[in-house]
Amino acid sequence: MDTTPESPNLSASPKGPSEQSGSGVASSSVPLLSLRGVSKNFGPVQAIQGVNLDVPDGQVTALIGDNGAGKSVLIKTISGIWPPSEGKIFWKGEEVHNHSPRGAAALGIATVYQDLALCDNLDIVQNMYLGREETKFGALDEIKMELATNQLLKDLSVSTVKSVRQLVASLSGGQRQAIAVARAVMRDSRLVILDEPTAALGVSQTRQVLELIRTLSSRGIAVLVISHNLNDVFSVADRIAVMHLGSLVSNGPISDYDTNSAVELITTGHSSRVPTTLAPSS
Amino acid sequence: MYKSLRQGDSGMVPVVVGLLLLVTYFQIRNAAFLSSGNLVNLFVQATIFILLGMAEIWVLLLGEIDLSIGITSVLGGAVAVILVDPQFHWSWFLALPAGILVVTLIGALYGMIVVRLNVPSFIVTLAGFLAFQGVLIYIVDSQGTGGTIPVHEKVLYNLVYGNLTPLWTWILAIEGVAIMCYRIIKRDINRRASGLVTEPLTYVVVKVVLLVAVGLILAKIFDANRGTFIVLRGMPFAIPIDIGVLVAGTFILTRTKAGRYINAIGGNSEAVRRAGVRVNRYRLLAFVLTGVTGGIGGLLYVSQLNGVNDGPPSTLTLYAIAAAVIGGTSLFGGRGKMIHAVVGGLIIATIYNGMALLSMSASTQYVVTGIVLLAAVTVDSVARRNSATK
Ligand SMILES: Nc1ncnc2c1ncn2[C@@H]1O[C@H](COP(=O)(O)OP(=O)(O)OP(=O)(O)O)[C@@H](O)[C@H]1O
Ligand SMILES: [Mg+2]
């Protein structure tokens, strides 16, 4: 079975790292992130099983799939929210042990969760810097953090918030989304994971987030983005990964897909036009 | 825009108004209420509610609670009293920290049980309330002094009954006011220099003027002779102790990562965890800080009582929680400041003191304190609901 966990360096799977056509960062053919045989169950509920996924550096990978397909569970596993029940995670070809949110952050993985994970009782600046506050002589350097937050929001054209000292509780859904995305971007990350970043956004803010995603990848940062909007996916992604009922059924460059085959994969888990990447799991 | 900057302070206006109303009422009923003698007495009574209230705020911020602080703090005080007693004869500078350490270790124990074993804190501390009450009675009775141990040691006695000289009272007051004004002005200047939004200048000026006024009035109250037979002037040591804890606690809470995380955990602990923070470490820290602060409060308590007896103060914990909550700290976590305990503690002490002055019965005091607690929380939650639906 080629769902057997194995090192991506030695991988012989069809979409193995050695065959990857790198874009900006062609010097390394090892994917930034690789999953091999990753499963996660909650008691009897098998949320994802046998996922083999490669996320190359500097590219935008879109993760698509129906509601409940396991997309959020997959990215939470990558972000260290919980350890995988089975399987291995590789970062730049090295196996990652004892995966935790802290460890993921240390690797350079920044995640915007579907539920945003903001503290309502803190203001925007405090949320932006949560877990990596700037200090001066051991005390928080509020001015530095506030200035940087102002600058970043300006760079990202987030102009709708009145004051960065506003409590996050007082923000609209779209504003909260924008803050969460900005926070992930700020963190000098190698891989930014976005779980439905545009779901709550208006037209212009959606365009801004997509623009932002392109900016990130042009800076050599890998992006893994979950979206239900195929227009967005085809306008921004370099690669597509499709999940169906907890399995990753297809993973490849965007040129291999069109809207019809993507819809087919999402709804049925296979497509006559696109080769699926996995042997069907037992 | 500056409205949001003020968000934090304006929330306390109703409580402060409530306090002023209480003061006015008592002053009308008895002209001795605002005499410097009585006010100093009131402040000293308040110091204990304030310290224990501040202790409680650390865990309340997490959304946890300590139902035993009134017992464990007195247990720490009792340990200090026993250690300075002739039979052990420890020096005060070992015995007093030892008392604080006892309460701190109990806090650490609670924290460990809550964090590691996931037992709700109100159960853990309720168990502690019962158990340590027993320990307190036991160690007091086991001294064989008939259930009461008096304080014979000068420093412990003087925590409450000793005073700064009038000169030092003024130096301290002026210095304190000067430092606070400097900080307010410096903050404003720094923000302006960095091009950040600032409070309007009038607001800064009002703050500074208020600070100076309060500082001068307090110094004047402490400076006045309040003795009847002998001259009694100066600020009781308990006051600078409270202020020191207030300043340190506020600094930790607002200017350090630890304080930021303790606040954030009460808002959304999962978000804090996902941000890569070792959440359990900071939850444990909050319990430890509750212990340290409570330990200092316990020393003041035994100092004020001039000893310790085997009738544990069963209502002290409730006053501590009430002080924090009346001042504006949420019972559900995520909202609280050290200053809340100061205002809440002053309100409780005002009721306590004023009613005694009017020779009202203890039963009336309890009822009134209960009503004030309910009123404060109701006003707060109604105000909050209005601002949320705005
Ligand atoms: N914490 C959890 N405990 C138990 N089951 C869970 C948990 N999280 C997810 N699941 C289950 O795992 C499956 C996959 O959920 P997941 O949230 O990954 O879906 P999704 O692909 O993100 O869907 P959507 O597009 O609606 O966000 C679902 O059946 C869900 O009920
Ligand atoms: Mg999801």
B46-105 pLDDT tens trace: 999 999 999 999 999 999 999 999 999 999 999 999 999 888 888 999 999 999 999 999
pLDDT for the residue A65: 93
Enumerate the residues of chain A whose CB falls inside 8 A of the CB of residue B8: none
pLDDT for the residue A279: 43
Write the pLDDT tens digit of every residue in B236-262: 999 999 999 999 999 999 999 999 999
pTM: 0.86
- A117 contacts B271? CB cut-off 8 A: yes
Q: Which residue has the higher pLDDT, B35 or A277?
A: B35
> Domain for residue B31, yes or no?
no
Residue keyed to tokens 């509780």: A169
- A130 contacts B272? CB cut-off 8 A: yes
> Domain for residue B21, yes or no?
no
Q: Which of B257, B266, B274 comes nearest A121 by C-beta? A: B266
Q: Which of B4, B194, B274 comes nearest A113 by C-beta? A: B274
- Residue % of chain A over a pLDDT of 70: 87
Enumerate the residues of chain B whose CB falls inside 8 A of the CB of residue A162: 1, 4
**Residue B389 clears pLDDT 70, i.e. is over it:** no
Ligand 1 residue neighbourhood (C-beta within 6 Å): A 42, 45, 47, 65, 67-73, 114
pLDDT for the residue A28: 52
pLDDT for the residue A24: 41
- B273 contacts A101? CB cut-off 8 A: yes
> Domain for residue B372, yes or no?
no
DSSP bridge pairs for B42 = none
Nearest alpha carbon, ligand 1 atom 12: A47
Indicate whether B82 and B55 sit together in one domain: yes
Indicate whether B283 and B337 sit together in one domain: yes
Whole-angstrom Cα distance, residue A242 to residue A239? Answer: 10
Whole-angstrom Cα distance, residue B386 to residue A111? Answer: 34
- Residue % of chain A over a pLDDT of 90: 49
What are the strands, taking DSSP E only, across B247-361?
Answer: 307-309
- A147 contacts B257? CB cut-off 8 A: no
Average pLDDT over residues B211-220: 92
pLDDT for the residue A282: 36
pLDDT for the residue B387: 58
Interchain CB contact of A72 with B (< 8 Å): no
Indicate whether B138 and B285 sit together in one domain: yes
Write the pLDDT tens digit of every residue in A228-279: 999 999 999 999 999 999 999 999 999 999 988 999 899 888 877 666 655 4
> Domain for residue B74, yes or no?
yes
Indicate whether B97 and B204 sit together in one domain: no
Average pLDDT over residues A188-214: 84
- Contact of A193 with A78, CB cutoff 8 Å: yes
Other Cβ atoms less than 10 A from the Cβ of B230: the count is: 6
Enumerate the residues of chain A whose CB falls inside 8 A of the CB of residue B11: none
pLDDT for the residue A216: 80
- Using DSSP's 3-state secondary structure scheme, residue A262 falls into helix
The confidence band for A167, taking pLDDT boundaries of 50, 70 and 90, is very high
A vs B, Cβ pairs < 8 A, gives 93
Indicate whether B82 and B135 sit together in one domain: yes
Interchain CB contact of A86 with B (< 8 Å): no
pLDDT for the residue B226: 85
Indicate whether B241 and B323 sit together in one domain: yes
Of B211, B230, B249, the one marking the end of a domain is B230
> Domain for residue B362, yes or no?
no
> Domain for residue B136, yes or no?
yes
Distance, first Cα to last Cα, chain B: 16
Q: Which of A113, A118, A140 comes nearest B255 by C-beta? A: A140
Interchain CB contact of A150 with B (< 8 Å): yes
**Residue A152 clears pLDDT 70, i.e. is over it:** yes
Indicate whether B256 and B206 sit together in one domain: no
- A130 contacts B260? CB cut-off 8 A: yes
Q: Which amino acid is at B315?
A: T
- Any idea what DSSP says for residue A96? P
- B260 contacts A102? CB cut-off 8 A: no
Of B230, B252, B274, the one marking the end of a domain is B230
Interchain CB contact of A147 with B (< 8 Å): yes
Enumerate the residues of chain B whose CB falls inside 8 A of the CB of residue A106: 276
Of B209, B230, B251, the one marking the end of a domain is B230
Indicate whether B91 and B187 sit together in one domain: no
- Contact of B108 with B287, CB cutoff 8 Å: yes
> Domain for residue B135, yes or no?
yes
Q: How long a stretch of residues is chain B?
A: 390
User: By C-alpha distance, which of B55, B76, B84 is closest to B132?
Assistant: B76
**B103 Cα to the center of ligand 2, angstroms:** 46
ipTM metric? 0.87
Whole-angstrom Cα distance, residue A61 to residue A23? Answer: 13
Which positions ≥6 away from B186 have C-beta within 8 Å?
A: none
Ligand 1 atom nearest to CA at A246? 14
CA-to-CA dists, residue B81 to B77, B147, B237, angstroms:
6, 13, 18
> Domain for residue B306, yes or no?
yes
B-facing residues of A in 153-192 (CB < 8 A) are: 162-163, 165-167, 170
Ligand 1 atom nearest to CA at A71? 21
Indicate whether B265 and B213 sit together in one domain: no
Indicate whether B48 and B154 sit together in one domain: yes
Indicate whether B178 and B266 sit together in one domain: no
- The strand pair at A191-195 and A222-226 is best described as parallel
Indicate the number of domains in chain B: 2
Pocket test for ligand 1, best of A63, A71, A73, A194 (most atoms within 8 A of CB): A73
Backbone CA torsion sign across B341, B11, B386, A166: negative
Interface test with A, best of B257, B331, B385 (most A CBs within 10 A): B257
User: By C-alpha distance, which of A195, A215, A194, A191 is closest to A92?
Assistant: A191
**Residue B153 is part of which domain span?**
39-158+236-353
Q: How far B302 CA sits from the closest chain A CA (Å)?
A: 35
Indicate whether B244 and B217 sit together in one domain: no
Which positions ≥6 away from B53 have C-beta within 8 Å?
A: B319, B320, B321, B322, B323, B324, B327, B340, B341, B342, B344, B345
Whole-angstrom Cα distance, residue A94 to residue A220? Answer: 20
